[in-house]
Amino acid sequence: MKKLGAISLQFIAACVGIIIFGALPSLFIAQGTGGSHIGMFIDTLSSIINSLIHFNEITFEIKGVEYQVYKYIFEGAFYSLTLIICALFLAYLIAILLTFLTMQFPKWLREKIKLAILFFESLPDILVILVLQLLIITFYKKTDILLMKVVTVGDSQAYLLPIICLAILPTIQLYRITNHLYEEELLKDYVLLTRAKGIRHTIILWKHILRNTIVSLFFHLKQTIWFMLSTLVVVELLFNVFGITYYLTTYMIPEVFTFILLFLFVPIFVFYHLVKLIIEKTVKGGEALS
Amino acid sequence: MLLVCTSFIYSAVVNHEVRQIYHIYDENKELIDSAPIAPRKEAWLGTDKLGYDMLSKVLIGAKFTILGALTIAFLRMMVSVPLGLVLGTYFPKGQKYLTSLVDVFHFVPLSVVALYLLQPFLFLKAGQEPVYSLTERIAIEIVVLTILTVPVLSVLIGNETRELFKEEYVSSAKTLGGSKLHIIKKHIFPALRERFFILFGQQFVQTLIVMAHLGLFFLYFGGTIFPSEGGDPPKSVTNEWSGLIGGSKIFLQWAPWIPLTPIVCFAVTILAVMLMVEGFSRVTSGRPVYFKRKNTQTLSAEKKRLRKKENSFDFLDKSM
């Protein structure tokens, strides 16, 4: 119960932080208009809070027509969150599976693989996305087979390729981490004991090591989410997805911006703490997760 | 063997960087052939829509991009290291709360935050007198990008400092009457120095990535010029890489070398920095960073472990 209180306190503090942050740029803009900085800041702050309370009145304009923000945001947020959560699961799954695969290889090959990981990890996300898009387009031109939807046009939403793009780099990062965790775990005494009992290598990997490393692997959940959010921005831009960051980056009005940022922040915050709670409750040793 | 290899990589990397920075005095080469030209002998990386050679463009932009990112990474460290040390030393109690507060930063994309804060400064309309001058704009961008990660970074350093204060040699130094300032100077800082270098490298990489993202949103380092009439993509003031990306991303389908050139440059620089960090940590500690996470074993213990591991593999073979 005490923990829940701490989390909700953190949550409220974060929301207040976001609202204040939303008003920050007005501190600087005032220079051009001649108004006083602090007054401008307080004005924006109060207007943000005001519009958050009457959130159904926030509108944005496209060519003179006003639209209500929250209707569109729900859709966009749902889409973006689907992408990010799918990508998250995909990344964890593939990273673990790949690690199983590599653990079957001899040691020298594993060292080579590690070097390759270092190389792939340093690729910026934009490059990966653009090259993937390009590959699929060229493939389509050559063979007339469209492997996946490259961009979202109208109602047909692209899911597969954005998710792959989102997942690719986090997978590589997680893969490196799991690899390392496994190698450390393999040296422990209990592995020796199970080996002495004649249990096969694969079973040891599955049954014992996975269970013991999964907690440390989830230590990286926060970093992975952070990284993915940054990539999400680029993915939505390059795939022409009307997700949440599209709205976030198109209408840079303080009130709208703050509202959408809260929309992005709240579900992910809740998701993270839910996963954390589940791990703490179910996995032994999960209490150490923080 | 490892040492030789590492120093080789390291010097190659340094050479690479130097070459990138010192060749910037090339002139822009206007080609008569119909632009954009695909990469070929005369223009190694092809040319863009207006016929500017991508290679020289990239080389010219390099100084702004690399130096900018370096400055930002350096400033981040300059601000967060003292802050983190002070936090970890003098306020170990309050750290917990601060950590949970800063945690929140992890749920908001950094690029968007930077975009939101920087937009008012960097968008210039063509023909309109800019509110801020070029140096002012660069300065503001550097400051904003610096401040963005300082909280996260300081708390990280603070946590490590606090951990170090639990070590035995620190408590014995305390018993001998060393003040906290003395302990920081003589014990904590040397112990963390390598770690700082690694963090510096990571910050550098992160800055580059954020800059590339901003470039996609037409927000360039040093300012963006929007043409008064539509049509042309927004232009970068300084020709730096993120500007080259943003202005050219629509060419991807029919002239892929235009956007890919600056992006590949980003990739190469990031790889170079990663290799430098890896090389540095191998030379100083004999312990690779990216392959193995920080652990407390010494080198000899590591060797022993490796030998043990080989044995255990033998054992498995026999048993099967």
ipTM: 0.74
Q: In chain B, what residues touch A166 (CB-CB under 8 Å)?
A: none
Q: In chain B, what residues touch A121 (CB-CB under 8 Å)?
A: 274, 290
CA-nearest residue of chain A to B258?
A130
Smallest Cα–Cα separation from B241: which of B216, B205, B273? B216
Phi then psi dihedrals of residue A246, to 5 deg: -65, -50
Inter-chain CB proximity B291 and A114 less than 8 Å: yes
Longest CA–CA span in chain B (Å) reads 80
Rounded to a whole number of angstroms, the distance from the CA of B157 to the nearest CA of chain A is: 16
- A66 has which bridge partners? A61
How far is residue A136's CA from residue A142's CA, in Å, rounded to a whole number? 10
Whole-number pLDDT of residue B269: 77
Place of tokens 């108004």: A35
Structure tokens at A112: 């080579």
Degrees, nearest 5: CA angle B253-B258-B260: 85
Inter-chain CB proximity B120 and A121 less than 8 Å: no
Inter-chain CB proximity B267 and A127 less than 8 Å: yes
Whole-number pLDDT of residue B320: 38
How far is residue B71's CA from residue B207's CA, in Å, rounded to a whole number? 10
Phi then psi dihedrals of residue A283, to 5 deg: -90, 135
| pLDDT confidence bin for B295, thresholds 50/70/90 | very low
Cis peptide before B36 (omega within 30 of 0): yes
Q: Could you tell me which residues come within 8 angstroms of residue B57 by beta carbon, excluding any fewer than 6 positions away?
A: B28, B48, B239, B244
Distances (CA, A) of B129 to A26, B58, B234: 20, 27, 16
pLDDT per residue of chain A (290 residues) written in tens, 0 to 9: 567 777 787 778 777 777 777 777 666 654 444 455 666 677 777 777 776 666 666 655 555 555 666 667 777 778 888 888 888 889 888 988 888 888 888 878 888 888 788 778 777 777 888 788 778 777 777 777 666 665 655 556 667 778 888 888 888 888 888 888 888 888 888 888 888 888 787 787 777 787 777 777 777 788 888 888 888 888 877 777 777 777 776 666 777 777 777 777 888 888 888 888 887 777 665 555 44
- Of A134, A191, A257, Cβ closest to residue B256: A134
Rg (C-alpha) for chain A, rounded Å, is 23
- Asked if A59 contacts A69 with a C-beta cutoff of 8 angstroms, the reply is yes
Inter-chain CB proximity B208 and A127 less than 8 Å: no
What predicted TM-score, i.e. pTM, was given to this entire model?
0.73
Longest CA–CA span in chain A (Å) reads 80
Q: In chain A, what residues touch B295 (CB-CB under 8 Å)?
A: 184
CB pairs under 8 A between A and B: 151
Inter-chain CB proximity B217 and A249 less than 8 Å: yes
Q: Could you tell me which residues come within 8 angstroms of residue B110 by beta carbon, excluding any fewer than 6 positions away?
A: A226, A229, A230, B148, B149, B206, B210
